[in-house]
Amino acid sequence: MTAAFDVLIIGGGPIGLACGLEAKRAGLSYIILEKGCVVNSLYNYPLYMTFFSTSERLEIGNVPFVSINPKPTRPEALEYYRRVATSHELNIKLFEEVEQVTPNAGEYTITTRKSVYHARHVVIATGFYDIPNLLNIPGEELPKVTHYYKDPHFYATQDVVVIGAHNSAVDAALETYRKGARVTMVIRQEDIGSRVKYWVRPDIENRIKEGSVKAWFNSSLTAIRDKEVDIATPDGPVTIANDFVIAMTGYQPNFSLLQKSGIALSDDKLKLPAYNPVTMETNMPRIYLAGVVCGGMNTHVWFIENSRDHAEKIMKHIKTNA
């Protein structure tokens, strides 16, 4: 039987790393378990993504984040968080997904696909980027459909449908269009999303206005086939030629892990997990939440910049009650 840690942190994203830094500073024994690479969610962001926030607001553990740009890029963020993890020699196990958290005689047993761990306290900082919101329409399983957009070059000269109207969808539409794709956006609402980056919004609006990017508003995709798709529009059903579908429909936290761990969720569409905002402790004693996962389906409430202090709250509560 392995020795129990004071704290086991599930998730090696920016907030999980922040929790590790705070645990180390508090003199607590800890381990971070991450299902992918370091800051796996950021790694899966589009190659050329630019953050909305300045680098100072993305810093964790009082470690300076120096960027040559007014808004840092994905490569800069990957380099920053990797260096934080390695320079502070954080105790992190990568490519090790947690499957179960089980109460066991005053502590918790944490089962992964590779091992079993024991900890007095558990912090769940798993973010929300791993599980896409599905369309649930015929043809969604086809290999031409993706819920993760990476590189525009792949789509050059192709007929591309982009679903969504927020930052990820707008970026995908503009970048693929500029690489020579014939882009059609399918948007449920009547306009481009209000959260779209202010310096990008005029660009997409002008491309739609001039017809370079086609947009169907108040519309939805209803079926996907090898060479075409069906769209329900205010003018009736429309079928257009299509090679690829980029479905930027959003993502959700790992509710299954939360529920299997005994954490209560609100009985509505938001599925808000139960926790004390002062201590971040859930309804399960000594299990805490940190970061975006706190918002349930409302994934636009918590970001790196406004949840960095979760790490301090958690470790302070653990030390106070040790």
DSSP 169: H
CA dihedral 137, 127, 85, 320 (to 10 degrees): -160
DSSP H or E stretch at residue 77: helix 74-87
Of 317, 312, 321, the C-alpha closest to 24 is 312
Q: What is the DSSP annotation of 280-302?
A: -BBSSTTEEE-GGGGGTT-TTS-
CATH of the domain spanning 134-247:
3.50.50.60
Domains 5-131+251-321 and 134-247 share a fold: yes
CA dihedral 200, 186, 194, 65 (to 10 degrees): -50
pTM flag (> 0.85): yes
Instruction: Identify each DSSP E strand in 64-146 by its residue range.
Output: 92-93, 98-104, 107-112, 116-124, 131-132, 145-146
How far apart are alpha carbons 165 and 170 in whole angstroms?
Answer: 6
**Domain coordinates of the chain in residue numbers?**
5-131+251-321, 134-247
Residue 86, Cβ density class (10 Å: 0-12 exposed, 13-18 middle, ≥19 buried):
exposed
pLDDT per residue of the chain (322 residues) written in tens, 0 to 9 = 466 999 999 999 999 999 999 999 999 999 999 999 999 989 988 888 888 889 999 999 888 999 988 899 999 999 999 999 999 999 999 999 999 999 998 899 999 999 999 999 999 999 877 789 999 999 999 999 999 999 999 999 999 999 999 999 999 999 999 999 999 999 999 999 998 988 999 999 999 999 999 999 999 999 999 999 999 999 999 999 999 999 999 888 899 999 999 999 999 999 999 999 999 999 999 999 999 999 998 888 888 888 999 999 999 999 998 6
DSSP H or E stretch at residue 238: strand 236-241
Domain 5-131+251-321 indexed as CATH 3.40.50.720:
no
pLDDT per position as a tens digit, 93-125: 999 999 999 999 889 999 999 999 999 999 999
